[in-house]
Chain A
Amino acid sequence: NAGVMQNPRHLVRRRGQEARLRCSPMKGHSHVYWYRQLPEEGLKFMVYLQKENIIDESGMPKERFSAEFPKEGPSILRIQQVVRGDSAAYFCASSAPGEDPLKSFFGQGTRLTVV
């Protein structure tokens, strides 16, 4: 019974490159949440998606960041033209419809380092 799977666990990108972070929710879960954890700071909500729908992206930076959760396949968080300030741990959590979304399960995270 696999949990929330994120890959890669570690990602290094040069400034200006694109970063793609993937999140496969737990089996039966159709709701995905992305959080970002900057060094020495708390997790901050970025975006909440259901299959093929963005429900709330109020925590996403207005430029360079986008997220999707297609009908098939994992959820993708894309960061274009990365800058050093994007270096952080990105966590994905998932939940099933009708369940308390905040007792949802987090993935192991992707640690992005921009050099």
Chain B
Amino acid sequence: GQNIDQPTEMTATEGAIVQINCTYQTSGFNGLFWYQQHAGEAPTFLSYNVLDGLEEKGRFSSFLSRSKGYSYLLLKELQMKDSASYLCAVRDRNDYKLSFGAGTTVTVRA
């Protein structure tokens, strides 16, 4: 089975940095994904880590430590439009099946 934990809510100020942690305990591992989901909208793909280390993509970075079962998503230079839910998901040994955390709702304040 899969057990994926992330904080429920975080609040930050416009222009600041926020780090969303995700810990997982899974029976198999074949990659960790982060998605962004605005209220009432579809999840959109943000990042993918399968090896340990940091992946940077503009204002968004994602880190993975497989030995610790730990990942984080770093959002820099926060903008109001970054207010959304951020979903951590782990892929199992199969190519297609994802197990999602409950999501972290990030609120950006002016």
Contact = CB atoms under 8 A, between A and B. Distances in A.
B42 A91 contact: yes
Size category of the A interface is: 20 to 34
A102 interface: yes
A40 B102 contact: yes
B26 to A, nearest CB: 13
Interface in A1-56: 4, 31, 33, 35, 40-45, 48, 55-56
Contacts, number: 57
Nearest to B92: A45
Contacts of B100: 35, 42-44
Interface stretch (A61-69, A70-78, A79-87, A105-113): A105-113
Contacts of B103: 42
Contact of B94 (A56, A91, A107, A108): A56
Interface of A: 4, 31, 33, 35, 40-45, 48, 55-56, 59, 91, 100-103, 105-109, 111
30 contacts: A31-B96, A35-B98, A35-B100, A40-B102, A42-B87, A42-B89, A42-B100, A42-B102, A43-B43, A44-B99, A44-B100, A45-B97, A55-B96, A56-B94, A56-B97, A91-B42, A91-B43, A100-B95, A102-B31, A102-B33, A102-B48, A102-B95, A102-B98, A103-B48, A105-B42, A106-B43, A107-B42, A108-B42, A109-B42, A111-B40
